[in-house]
Amino acid sequence: MELTRRQYNFDEIVPREGTDCVKYDLRKVYFGAEDVIPMWVADMDFRTPDFIIGAIRQRLDHEVLGYSIRSKKFNSAIVGWMQARHNWKINPSWVTFSPGVVPALNMLVLAFTQPGDKIIVQPPVYFPFFAAIENNGRTKVENPLKLENGRLCIDFDDLRSKAEGAKMILISHPQNPGGSVWKKNELEELAEICLKHNILMVSDEIHSDLVFPPLTHIPLASLSGEVARQTITCNAPSKTFNIAGLATSYLIIPDEEKLRRYNRMLNDELHLNMGNLPGNIALQAAYNHGADWLEQLLDYLQKNIILVKEFCAGHLPQITPIIPESTYMIWLDCRKMGLQGDALKDFFIQKAKVGFNDGRVFGTGGDGFMRMNVACPRSVVEEALLRIKKTL
């Protein structure tokens, strides 16, 4: 007998105010007003999938929440997901924990570089990359991305000119905020440069499940054994399944010595290895049962992106959305509006009452841009676009 496929309702409005929610309950702090539509921080307004909630509820019936471990099932779920979703066969022993990708970036900087060492970043990029370098006394080296034919691309000539002496590169893969999915030839050229100069590649692949067909994600470390030994992959199910509050991040480190060095930082020096029980359960449920839900999510997100593209083309010619190949964030090119800096920010917040991320926080190449989060019901996207149209 053929089972009926469950249809998930992404149109549902789920009120989040009063739940200690960053996106909604901190609007007054970040935007100075509570009447803006919040479309900034990278989580979703959709319900966390029922199979995750159900697994956590089942565990809570035991009613003892003491110290817990991550059993073999935790690593096995990751191994299975990487194989099925990304065609990457990994060894369970390569997997280790982090309370978040951002803490992982900081721990990796501390474990594998020394004060003053050069670390390469590729702005405009997720801004905690900068803090992981500068707050730990390292030297930031910028390899700015180029906007070509509506896509952010790596400037390899510039990267070659700056690679000498660098110890590490932080890679956003897929790219945040631009949504570029790095192609195999781009990854190979990047790896070639880094291997030549013995640069440790730290690849943040937290958005890797959110790649829109027909494109696919290629894990950087999957290129070859040599690349794998020089790569540390950071990932989590948090963006994919809307469980960012549960500390479900992990690292994949194929090289034994690098794995030992990181685990020494995690376990012995900072004592951050415990994680939390609901997060462990959530990851296993997500990766063991989440494929169908994710397919429906991607279809819905892609239609939201198309809505923004067509609305801007028809009604907001001053705004050019950089159509993402992945993620639920849209990098909006607002330079034709004739506003920059605080004036552009104030237009959206104070006048249109829409809360985007100011492009300037993503570094070089961000002025004149805004980052828009469309992981919300379509009616919310429509309302935001209508507010902008009316204000313009």
pLDDT in tens, 58-103: 999 999 999 999 999 999 999 999 999 999 999 999 999 999 999 9
The residue from 268, 288, 308 where one domain ends is 288
CA angle 82, 92, 273 (to 5 degrees): 105
pLDDT digits (tens, 9 = 90+) for 182-207: 999 999 999 999 999 999 999 999 99
Mean pLDDT of 276-292: 97
As a whole number of angstroms, the distance between CA 166 and CA 148 comes to 26
Q: pLDDT-based confidence at 5, cuts 50/70/90?
A: confident
Residue 1's pLDDT is 39
Report the alpha-carbon distance of residue 368 to residue 354 in Å, rounded. Answer: 16
Question: Residue 317: pLDDT above 80?
Answer: yes
Residue closest to 368 by CA, chosen among 392, 347, 390: 347
Residues 246 and 342 in one domain: no
What domain range includes position 316? 22-49+291-391
Average pLDDT over residues 281-286: 98
pLDDT by residue (tens digit) across 223-274?
999 999 999 999 999 999 999 999 999 999 999 999 999 999 999 999 999 8
Whether residue 59 is contained in a domain is answered as no
| Residues facing residue 192 across a β-bridge | none
Claim to verify: residue 204 and residue 342 sit in the same structural domain = no
Residue type for position 127: F
2: pLDDT strictly greater than 80: no
Of the three residues 249, 265, 288, the one that is the final residue of a domain is 288
Structural domain tally of the chain? 2
Q: Are residues 41 and 154 in the same domain?
A: no
Dihedral over alpha carbons 144, 356, 297, 53 (to 10 degrees): 110
CATH (domain of 92)? 3.40.640.10
Q: Report yes or no on 14 lying in a domain.
A: no
Q: Are residues 349 and 209 in the same domain?
A: no
Tokens 């739940």: give the residue.
19
Strands 139-142 and 369-373, bridge-based pairing: unpaired
pTM of the model: 0.96
**Amino acid in position 265:** M
Reduced to 3 DSSP states, what percent helix, strand and coil does the chain have, rounded to the nearest 5? 45, 15, 40
Instruction: Please report, for residues 156, 160, 239, 390, 392, the alpha-carbon distance to residue 308 in angstroms, rounded to integers and kept in the order given.
Output: 31, 36, 21, 15, 16
CA dihedral 265, 122, 301, 304 (to 10 degrees): 150
Task: Name the pLDDT band for 4 (thresholds 50, 70, 90).
Answer: low
**Does residue 194 lie in a domain region?**
yes
335: left (phi over 0), alpha (psi -120 to 50) or beta: alpha
How confident is the model over 17-53, as pLDDT tens digits?
999 999 999 999 999 999 999 999 999 999 999 999 9
Domain CATH number, residue 32: 3.90.1150.10
Question: Mean of the pLDDT values across residues 288-307?
Answer: 98
For 383, which DSSP code? H
Do 41 and 88 lie in a common domain? no
pLDDT-above-90 percentage for the chain:
97
Average pLDDT, the chain: 97
The DSSP code for 46 is S
Strand 95-98 versus strand 166-172 pairing type: unpaired
Last residue of a domain, one of 288, 304, 338: 288
Helices (H), 247-377: 256-263, 277-289, 291-315, 341-346
